Amino acid sequence: MDPKKKKLLILVVAIAILVAAFFLTKNISPAFIKENFSQTLSLPIITIIIGLIDGFNPCNFFVLTLLISMMLSESHSRKKIYAVGFSFIVVVYLFYLLFMAAWLNIFKYIGFIKPLRIIIGLIAVIAGLINCKELFFYRKGVTLMIQDKNVGPLRRRIQNVAELMKKGSLPTLIGSSVILAIFASLVELPCTAGFPIIYTGILTGVVLKNSFIYYGYLILYNLFYVVPLLTIVTVLGYTFKGKPIKKDTMALIKFIGGAIMLLLGIVLLFNPSLLGLGV
């Protein structure tokens, strides 16, 4: 199929799903949801689903696949590849966890009042639309991808880590990977901030018995967030076959993520009880 027709087909299907979701969301009563879907839409399931969807992040995929492909061009040491890849993921996990904990505390301080729910819903809709446009206008205009000014420095840091594969010791490689992960996490914030803000907003709106349970859900969310990254490192490190993620694939992932953000925004704005929220 012609690429343009394929994109249009994806767009039409997504619009049809979102329109159906909009009317369904507006017309399902909270009583019906409570009676029939209380178990299906439980917080652990919501946490796992959103965390896993968030994990399919094209910016993280770009950095990790580029890093591994460059490392493979220098060496086929599985031990070093896994050391660099898994240390990178650990730092990404901790950075993301702290980032989400900060948003959780901000939202808990404000309180999950109706205006906050509406604001988070609007953020989801706006971020979703921006991400969806990447399928047709990749990195053009307003974008939530890695900024152009950061791409060059990021590539240089990745190249530096790759060059250490031959002459660098294992501790040096891990240290360089940690520094790269911190830098990558900072420059990726526009690309990765959407789902954490939406999820922590949802989490704040759920009444839990103990404050520590909220952090338990953040830990669970981030465990599933790094599952795709762990899979990439494990598979590419085992097969010794790696290449950077393609632009078209990144655009498609962004579009799918954006559509899901739009869906969450619709639910937050018109029927938050679908997510177990009472405001």
Q: Which residues contact 68 (CB under 8 A, 6 or more apart)?
A: 81, 85, 232, 233, 236, 237, 242
Q: Which two structure tokens, joined as six digits, stand for 113?
A: 């009042």
Report the C-alpha gap between 70 and 92 in whole angstroms. Answer: 20
pLDDT tens by residue, the chain, 279 residues: 677 888 888 888 889 988 988 888 877 766 665 665 544 457 888 899 999 999 888 888 888 888 888 888 777 778 888 888 899 999 999 999 999 999 999 988 888 778 888 899 999 999 999 999 988 988 888 888 888 788 888 888 888 888 877 777 888 888 888 888 898 888 888 888 889 999 998 898 887 888 889 999 999 999 999 999 999 888 888 887 767 788 888 888 889 999 999 999 998 888 887 777 765
- How many CB atoms are closer than 10 A to CB 203? 27
Contact 165, 77 (CB under 8 A): yes
Q: What is the pLDDT of residue 180?
A: 87
Q: What is the pLDDT of residue 91?
A: 92
> Any idea what DSSP says for residue 117?
H
> Any idea what DSSP says for residue 134?
G
Q: What is the pLDDT of residue 33?
A: 59
Q: What is the pLDDT of residue 157?
A: 85
Q: What is the pLDDT of residue 186?
A: 87
| Residue 64 CA: distances (Å) to CA of 157, 161, 253 | 12, 12, 15
Helix (H, G, I), strand (E, B) or coil at 271: coil
Place of tokens 């890093």: 67
Q: Whole-prediction pTM value?
A: 0.86
Q: What is the pLDDT of residue 271?
A: 83
Report the C-alpha gap between 101 and 211 in whole angstroms. Answer: 12
Q: What is the pLDDT of residue 96?
A: 93
Give residue 255's region: left, alpha or beta (phi > 0; psi -120 to 50): alpha
Place of tokens 């899979």: 231
Give residue 75's region: left, alpha or beta (phi > 0; psi -120 to 50): beta
Q: What is the pLDDT of residue 191?
A: 83
